[in-house]
Amino acid sequence: MADEKPPQLVDYFVVAGLAEGSRLLEEEPLARPARPAEPITDVAVIIRSQGEEVPQGFTCIETTTSGHPVDLNAGLLNNPQMFLCYKRGRDKPPLIELG
């Protein structure tokens, strides 16, 4: 027990490289767009099944990054289709919390 040493850097060193089918990062499509410059200042929930439209200046979140619908009531029977909308800008302080 007395001669045990703490782990050394070389104990966990790994050599990594590209496999035969790998592509350079410059060739890979970006998973997400660059971070937007303007913060989110407002949010709204709209009920599409009752004919509500996206408020002016707002962006509606309709699908996930993988393409699935983002209806807030998805999976529930006979419930209205509700979607979350957001607005970006510098005219108000940014949202820092939702309750």
| 38-64 confidence digits (pLDDT tens) | 899 999 999 988 999 999 999 999 888
User: Is 38 inside any structural domain?
Assistant: yes
Mean pLDDT across the stretch 26-32?
62
Q: How far separated are the first and last CA of the chain, in Å rounded?
A: 54
- 80 located within any domain: yes
Domain of residue 56: give its range.
9-88
Q: Quick check: is 22 in a domain?
A: yes
pTM: 0.60
Q: How many domains does the chain have?
A: 1
Please indicate, yes or no, if residue 2 is contained in any of the structural domains. no
Residue-wise pLDDT tens digits, 75-91: 777 888 899 999 999 99
What distance lies between CA 26 and its chain's CA centroid? Answer: 22
Q: Is residue 67 part of a domain?
A: yes
Q: Does the residue 98 lie in any domain?
A: no
96 is a domain residue? no
Rounded to an integer, the average pLDDT of 19-32 is: 66
**What span, in angstroms and rounded, lies between the C-alpha atoms of 88 and 43?**
9
Q: Which residue has the higher pLDDT, 23 or 11?
A: 23
- Which residue, among 28, 33, 29, has the nearest Cα to 18 in the 3D structure? 28
Q: Is residue 4 part of a domain?
A: no
